[in-house]
Each structure stands twice: as C-alpha cells, then as structure tokens.
Amino acid sequence: MEVDRTGEYIYPDTELDRVEGQVIEELKANSQEAIPDPDQWLEEELEQNIILTTVDWVINWGRRSSPWVSLCFPACCGFEFVSAMGPRFDISRFGMEILRASPRQADLMITAGTLTWKMAPNIKRIYNQMAEPKWVIAMGACAISGGIFRSSYSVVPGYNHIIPVDVYVPGCPPRPEGLIYGIQMLQKKIAKRKNLPQEGLKGLIKEGLRG
C-alpha cells in the first residue's frame, strides 16, 4: 500500500535545521562567561531566631532527604552514576533512589558527561523545566571544565556556562564514593538554606511581640 507522505512534517527539515543552528549560535554567543556559583548565601550569618530556624530546618530536612534526580547523562559518567544507583553503592540510602524522566518532578540534576554545544539548548531547557528549588551537581572533569575536550570546537567548557552549578565532583569518571560524597556536600548546603522571606517575617514577628 502506498503511504502518502505529503504533509507529514509541518516544517521542511531544512527549516528546522536552520532554526536549530540559530538557537545554538545564539546560546554559544551568550554563554562565553561562566555563571557564578550560587553560594553567596552560605557566607551569611545564621539568624538566631528559633521560629524561623526551626521551620527552615524542617523544610530543609525534607528537601535534603529526598533529592530526586532528573535524567541528564550525555556521556560515560552515566555508567558510574548507574553504578552508584545500584545495590553495591546504593544512593537510595540518601533518599534519591528515584530517577525522574520528567524534569518537573526532579530537584537535582547530576550532569554526568560531556556537553556539546548542539546538546546545550536541550540541557538548558531541562534545567528551566525543573521546579524550584533545584540544584545541580557537575559530575566529572568534562562537566566541570570540559575536561580533555575543553579546547574542542564542539564542547561546552563546563556546565557552568549554561546552568548554575552547586557542587563539583572531580574525576574522570568520579568513583561512586566520590559522587556520594558530593551528594552529601550538597545535602549540607541545602541544610544551610533559608527558605522563608527573612525581612517580611521578622517584621511580622516583631509586631506580634509588641502586641
């Protein structure tokens, strides 16, 4: 039977190629500088307020105990991550046995592998689709700086050109123990996070104390 292939695609594929090329060139032009790591709030002094810190502690306990991972395994570090997922190293001990195929249900992106400029818009899209709060672990030399492919024509020199990175785990690839250590560091980082809007709440509490 003859299959009618006219109108199979709305756009001709040459048009799609052109648009894809434009998107990549635009992203490449805009991401020559690395995004600073989101760690300024770590230096701030913890407020000695019992109510706020307790609420924060409960929220942070919930968040750090179940960081679900979104799928982002462009290269070989993915195998080491799979090994860390498996029964021998078993990162489900840290509450993250669930891999989410949908970024909307994920909190944590473990970037296991080399990122090419052609893949970069898609990684950025996955990151943008993740719900706040979200964290990123750059796993392996390629994710940190581009690794041995750094000076290549097609490789992004580090994920921090595309998305902000919280924790860097070096290695080529890192051992599962290294990855687990990185995850624990991220959990410590999450534990220091202030979740409630500080200024507004402080005012409210002061007013409440005044009567």
- For other proteins (CB under 8 A), the number of binding residues is 12
Among 11, 25, 79, 188, the residue binding other proteins under the rule CB under 8 A is 25
| Alpha-carbon gap, residue 96 to 197, rounded angstroms | 28
Question: For the chain, give me the number of helices (H) and strands (E)?
Answer: 8, 5
Smallest gap, in angstroms, from Cβ of residue 106 to other proteins? 27
Can you tell me which residue has the tokens 């990185």?
182
Which residues in 168-187 contact other proteins (CB under 8 A)?
Answer: none
Residues from 106 through 125 that contact other proteins (CB under 8 A):
117-118
- 133 torsion bin: left (phi>0), alpha (psi -120 to 50), beta (else): beta
To the nearest whole angstrom, how small is the minimum distance from the Cβ of residue 114 to other proteins?
A: 13
188 part of the interface to other proteins, by CB under 8 A: no
- Cβ proximity to other proteins: between 25 and 177 the closer is 25
- The dihedral over CA atoms of 13, 14, 16, 21, expressed in degrees to the nearest 10, equals 140
Residue 3 vs 29, nearer CB to other proteins: 29
Radius of gyration of the chain (CA): 21
To other proteins, the closest distance from the beta carbon of 56 in angstroms equals 44
Residue 169: in which H helix or E strand, if any?
Answer: strand 167-169
Q: What is the rounded distance in angstroms from the CA atom of residue 70 to the CA atom of residue 122?
A: 13
Q: Does 30 bind other proteins (CB under 8 A)?
A: no
For other proteins, give the closer residue by CB, 13 or 132.
13
Rounded Cα distance between 1 and 9, Å, is: 20
Q: How far is the CB of 156 from other proteins (least distance, A)?
A: 13
Interface residues with other proteins (CB under 8 A) are 14, 17-18, 20-22, 24-25, 117-118, 153-154
